[in-house]
């Protein structure tokens, strides 16, 4: 390799004639290594398994924890006020700036949800209005538990996510594992990064990565829908929390092994049946297909992967521009996503807490659970569905089940369902991914029906 030559950044250049300088290689290597260290390297911190991103977000959260509910309320009120101003009055200073126009000139549905989210936040913070809104188990959960995590996690993640996605790491990994992911999951190899980031960090980070890759033309509509609903897996840290809460700590290793096996089975089967199998391999209009993981004849996987990675890294905007993009992403999440989480999350939790709807819907699961020889089937059945509202709710309902076998199954199923409207589901809809609410619920049910028998079988073998 001639290190004095500059590598052309065009995909039609034959690989045999392509070279790059040491400087260009380091532009790929250094940011990508930082991304791996912060997003993909598990560390033990304060006796829990986490990642560098998690440590940074937790430190920020601890520093301002008392103020975060007030900060969240203020952000939601500002979001609603500017949304009303931009959507109803449309002042030129706002509509003529694309970033502001995208944030505050809204469809009536999104405007209504944004105003509702702000109203719910204010009612919860100052505790006025109907109690079902500001109750500790409804609006209180969203404003005091979910919102602080989202504010701090996405502040850090939004600013440093380009290290993982925009400096060639996804091109490199995608090329190396392309054949496996294509054959097993029907997906590009770069989706492995989504899965690893979710596994070690947070499912919301996985969805955020997926959304960005879709908008940039690296995933088709079908691939985006599959990845967002099958690879944004629950993190190890959250899994540890669930096992501790449900008194299954002593079974964590076989517990997580069960989650992995059932999750892989669902990731293989779910994309091959409707509604995911109906999705088309269309790319975002005006962007088109940007991904190239095919390896030219006579070129090794490793060499081609490095070439693609270096090209990608050196075609990026300047660091200052990347920071500007990161700040915009953070503001978009704070002012665009938080209100939806507050509105939809509060309503979902209220339905689960104060109505028998999930109990009614779960009746068909009772004979299924009995057929799987699980004790206390009637108590466990609602936990099979309530996870659609929030991933933690099955654990809340299942904690009182006496049978360790059934608690084991409830906990595992809750982690393999993946789609919950209080956070991930809202993010999927807000990011304009090619999925609607009905499809999300259908996929949630399909994943439940696929993973439940596998988990029950393994639970009988593990727990007895």
For the stretch 40-56, pLDDT in tens is: 787 877 776 677 877 88
Helix (H, G, I), strand (E, B) or coil at 44: strand
Residue 164 pLDDT = 80
Average pLDDT over the chain, rounded to whole? 85
What average pLDDT score do residues 424-453 get?
91
Q: CA–CA separation, 173 vs 222, rounded Å? A: 21
Tokens 């304009």 sit at which residue? 432
Query: 94 pLDDT band (50/70/90 cuts)?
Result: confident
What average pLDDT score do residues 3-28 get?
60
DSSP annotation of 276 reads: G
Kindly report the pTM of this predicted structure.
0.75
| Stretch (H or E) spanning 50 | strand 48-50
Check the CA dihedral 58-62-63-66 and report its sign.
Answer: positive
Helix (H, G, I), strand (E, B) or coil at 43: strand
Q: Percent of the chain at pLDDT above 70? A: 93
Q: CA–CA separation, 355 vs 123, rounded Å? A: 21
Query: 393 pLDDT band (50/70/90 cuts)?
Result: confident
Query: 372 pLDDT band (50/70/90 cuts)?
Result: very high
What average pLDDT score do residues 153-178 get?
83
pLDDT digits (tens, 9 = 90+) for 349-361: 888 889 888 889 8
Residue 434's Cβ-side half-sphere holds a number of Cα atoms within 13 Å equal to 22
Q: Percent of the chain at pLDDT above 90? A: 34
What average pLDDT score do residues 64-68 get?
90
Instruction: State the Cα angle at 446 between 440 and 447, rounded to 5°.
Output: 90
pLDDT digits (tens, 9 = 90+) for 336-348: 888 988 998 888 8
What average pLDDT score do residues 387-405 get?
86
**Of the listed ranges 81-90, 241-250, 383-392, 443-452, the one predicted with least confidence:** 241-250
Q: CA–CA separation, 380 vs 399, rounded Å? A: 10
Q: CA–CA separation, 38 vs 209, rounded Å? A: 15
Backbone angles phi, psi at 43, to 5 degrees: -135, 155
Residue 5 pLDDT = 38
Query: 198 pLDDT band (50/70/90 cuts)?
Result: low
Task: Extract the tokens encoding 23.
Answer: 């400087």
Q: CA–CA separation, 60 vs 49, rounded Å? A: 18
What average pLDDT score do residues 251-264 get?
89
Q: Which residue has the higher pLDDT, 33 or 236?
A: 33
Q: CA–CA separation, 294 vs 304, rounded Å? A: 9
Q: Which of 150, 71, 75 lies closest to 117, judged by CA?
A: 75
Residue 200 pLDDT = 59
Task: Extract the tokens encoding 351.
Answer: 């339905």
């Amino acid at each position: 390799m001639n290190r004095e030559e500059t590598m052309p950044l065009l995909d039609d250049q034959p690989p045999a004639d392509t070279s790059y300088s040491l400087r260009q290689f380091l532009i790929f290597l250094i940011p990508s290594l930082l991304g791996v260290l912060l997003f993909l390297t598990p560390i033990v911190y304060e006796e829990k398994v986490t990642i560098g991103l998690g440590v940074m977000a937790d430190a920020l959260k601890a520093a301002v924890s008392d103020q975060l509910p007030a900060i969240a309320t203020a952000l939601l009120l500002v979001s609603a006020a500017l949304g009303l101003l931009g959507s109803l009055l449309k002042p030129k200073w706002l509509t003529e700036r694309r970033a502001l126009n995208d944030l505050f000139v809204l469809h009536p549905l999104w405007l209504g949800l944004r105003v509702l989210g702000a109203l719910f936040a204010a009612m919860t913070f100052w505790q006025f209005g109907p109690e079902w809104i500001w109750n500790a188990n409804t609006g209180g959960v969203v404003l005091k538990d979910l919102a602080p995590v989202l504010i701090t996690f996405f502040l850090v993640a939004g600013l440093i996510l380009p290290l993982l996605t925009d400096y060639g790491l996804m091109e490199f990994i995608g090329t190396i594992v392309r054949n496996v992911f294509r054959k097993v999951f029907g997906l590009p190899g770069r989706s492995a990064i989504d899965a690893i980031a979710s596994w070690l960090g947070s499912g919301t980070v996985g969805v955020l990565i997926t959304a960005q890759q879709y908008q940039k033309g690296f995933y088709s509509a079908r691939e985006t829908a599959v990845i967002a609903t099958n690879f944004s897996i629950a993190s190890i840290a959250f899994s540890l929390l669930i096992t501790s809460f449900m008194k299954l700590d002593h079974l964590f290793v076989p517990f997580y092994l069960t989650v992995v096996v059932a999750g892989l089975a669902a990731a293989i089967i779910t994309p091959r049946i409707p509604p995911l199998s109906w999705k088309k391999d269309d790319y975002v209009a005006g962007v088109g297909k940007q991904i190239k993981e095919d390896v030219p004849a006579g070129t090794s996987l490793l060499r081609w992967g490095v070439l693609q990675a270096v090209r990608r890294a050196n075609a990026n905007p300047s660091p200052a521009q990347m920071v500007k993009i990161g700040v915009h992403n953070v503001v978009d999440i704070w002012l665009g996503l938080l209100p939806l989480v507050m509105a939809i999350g509060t309503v979902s939790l209220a339905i689960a807490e104060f109505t028998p709807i999930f109990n009614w819907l779960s009746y068909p699961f009772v004979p299924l659970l009995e057929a799987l020889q699980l004790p206390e089937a009637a108590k466990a059945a609602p936990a099979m569905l309530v996870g659609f509202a929030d991933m933690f709710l099955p654990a809340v309902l299942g904690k009182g089940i006496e049978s360790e076998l059934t608690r084991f199954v409830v906990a595992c199923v809750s982690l393999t369902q993946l789609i919950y409207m209080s956070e991930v589901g809202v993010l999927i809809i807000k990011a304009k991914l090619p999925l609607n609410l009905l499809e999300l619920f259908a996929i949630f049910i399909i994943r439940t029906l696929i993973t439940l028998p596998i988990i029950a079988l393994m639970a009988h073998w593990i727990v007895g």
